[in-house]
Structure 1
Amino acid sequence: MLTVVGEALMDLVRAPGSAAPPAEHPGGSPANVALGTARLGLPTTLLTQLGPDPRGAAVRGHLEAAGVAVRSLSDAPTSTATAVLDERGAARYEFDIDWAPTQPLALPPGTTCLHTGSLATALEPGATAVEALLASADAVVSFDPNVRPSLMGAPDAARERIERLVALADVVKASDEDLAWLYPDSSPMDVVKRWRGLGPAMVVATLGGEGAFAVTAAAEARCPARPITVVDTVGAGDAFTSGMLWRLDALGLLGDRDALRRMGSAELGTVLDTAVAASAITCTRRGAEPPTRELLESCTS
């Protein structure tokens, strides 16, 4: 079973140049990952923070309809993220959020993989509790920093914290935009290899229109992007993570640290191809709407 820890919120998506009220879509990076893995058939629990309000009810209903077991750790009002789209469909975010779980963080029985990242690993007081959970977890750990510069302070401080979390993880995924903000003088490939040296079994960089690149202890692989017409990029990186985790599970690797470290180039290429396809499908839809298993398999067979 996969357990995801982190924020669930309502995305308020504003089209470029539009005076209309923003469209509301359930979101939050960890919640999007949980939605994606559940749609793909991977049993998924989300430990999050949702308020007893209409937006909280809408987000919970959206996740539970896909099969996510949702457990709220606080009754604080449901957070929002305003996504302002540019002419290419790329999103810039403005947040009204806190992350302060009032219940202890503990993995449900049967958890074989823990995924977290984004604001849940950056905003206090919850970030400290999440880091402690990663350090003590008896499970494979997946981490996506999903950098939000407006909420993460100076790059130097964020880089120190993120590198600690990378060292605690087994699978790490980051975007080229994340890496450019953290390491402006290094290429994504150089950072991926540096992070792999900190201890993870597998590190992946998504490269936008250039696809994705990954390294393990035994292999490297690169996968090109798929040609699509982009509607928006909301949730695309999270769909990549969902596809990646689902394919690792299908290959029998998600709950096995040693097997992850032995993964060869053929398996790694298959994982990247699945993840890139999941991300591409999501980019053709409005909001964070990852594919079902049937659709994804039809695009990767």
Structure 2
Amino acid sequence: MTNKILAIGECMVEMAPQAQGGYAMGFAGDTFNTAWYLRKNLPADWEVAYLTGVGTDAMSEQMTNFISGAGITPELLTVPDRTVGLYMISLKDGERSFSYWRSVAAARKLAQHPAPIDALEKGDVAYFSGITVAIVEPEDRQALLDTLSAARARGVTVAFDPNLRPRLWAGTDEMRDWIMKAAAVSDIALPSFEDEATVFGDADKAATLARYQNVGVTCVVVKDGPDDVLAQNGSAAPVTVSPVLNPAPVDTTAAGDSFNAAFLAGHLRGEYLSLAIAAGCALSHKVVSHKGALVDVT
């Protein structure tokens, strides 16, 4: 039987700076990046699919073809009067910042297309992020979480990366509220400590881990950039994994997204938690040595 992992979110046009000047166009986005790396890390008997919104314009068609060409099944809501979002990367000393144009993105309507989530069965996986929840129309957020909750109740594993982005929310209280509502429908959470400490005031990684456990998340993996990862799965003892440091990162775009992919691939194959985390660290280490979100290093 073929299992399926459905990533949910926004794939965008990416404009990435080049060494010789100018920009190269590609397609990327947090949950799509994870889907792309999952396709390269999971065996062929897993189907990787992506749920997003597109328009009817040429750029939407080009993005759809890119998704399919990556071996990922497009699960698309077509919104005729909208298009796909765009972002531009700026780099300084390997650290990136972004400028976004997404107000007319069709992905903002994706929660109005629940059929791909409803089709998931026991043993399948749904993967989404805090950005997914933030970018959908506010009136659709609860419907998205209800659909994921129903999927979880029938045996679908729900994985969630909080991916805290304050600029996408009306305010900090709104962000905190929806992030924890999203966590409460999830089996796996993949928070990043630096962001969590800033937004939630967590004193340490143990506090972050406990907060997600307290809303019912079974497996929590707290990333912390170059520092140790703290994780716990169910009632097993917590584990700490030290990543191999990259002394000269070129571009940290998709560092967390690629970690998530390699971790989830290992976890879904039944690897020990520490080994799945080590695989995530190793892939992230490779990815940040190159420019752009999608790097063929597997």
Shorter-chain TM-score category? 0.7 to 0.9
Distance 1:82 1:211, change over 3 A: farther
Displacement of 1:290 after TM fit?
A: 4.9
SS in 1 for 2:164: coil
Q: How many residue pairs are counted as aligned between the two chains? A: 276
Matched-pair contact (CA < 8 Å) for 2:193–2:208: no
Tell me, yes or no, if structure 1 residue 82 matches structure 2 residue 95.
no
Distance of 1:129 and 1:14 partners within structure 2: 38
- For 1:1-301, list aligned pairs within 5 A: 1-14=4-17, 20-41=21-42, 42-75=46-79, 76-87=82-93, 89-97=94-102, 98=105, 99-101=108-110, 103-106=112-115, 107=117, 108-110=119-121, 112-125=124-137, 126-137=140-151, 138=154, 139-217=156-234, 218-228=236-246, 229-251=248-270, 267-291=272-296, 295=298
SS in 1 for 2:208: helix
Distance of 1:47 and 1:205 partners within structure 2: 26
Counterpart residue type for residue 13 of structure 2: M
Output the TM-score relative to the length of structure 2. 0.84
Gaps of 5+ in 2: none
Matched-pair contact (CA < 8 Å) for 1:212–1:276: no
Displacement of 1:54 after TM fit?
A: 4.1
Matched-pair contact (CA < 8 Å) for 1:9–1:50: no
Counterpart residue type for residue 268 of structure 2: D
Distance 1:156 1:285, change over 3 A: same
Distance of 1:28 and 1:163 partners within structure 2: 22
The percentage of aligned residue pairs carrying the same residue is 22
Displacement of 1:37 after TM fit?
A: 0.8
Distance 1:289 1:124, change over 3 A: closer
SS in 2 for 1:72: strand
Displacement of 1:181 after TM fit?
A: 2.8
Provide, for residues 228-256 of structure 1, a one-character-per-residue CA deviation record: whole Å limited to 9, x for no partner.
Answer: 2311011111111111111112117xxxx
Distance 1:180 1:55, change over 3 A: farther
Distance of 1:179 and 1:103 partners within structure 2: 29
Matched-pair contact (CA < 8 Å) for 2:56–2:78: no
Distance of 2:295 and 2:20 partners within structure 1: 28
Distance of 2:195 and 2:57 partners within structure 1: 32
Counterpart residue type for residue 197 of structure 2: A
Distance 1:101 1:185, change over 3 A: closer
Distance of 1:83 and 1:149 partners within structure 2: 18
Distance of 1:156 and 1:149 partners within structure 2: 10
Matched-pair contact (CA < 8 Å) for 2:220–2:231: yes
Distance of 1:213 and 1:160 partners within structure 2: 24
Displacement of 1:65 after TM fit?
A: 2.2
Displacement of 1:291 after TM fit?
A: 4.9
Gaps of 5+ in 1: 253-266, 296-301
Distance of 1:230 and 1:57 partners within structure 2: 33
Matched-pair contact (CA < 8 Å) for 1:12–1:81: yes
SS in 1 for 2:163: coil
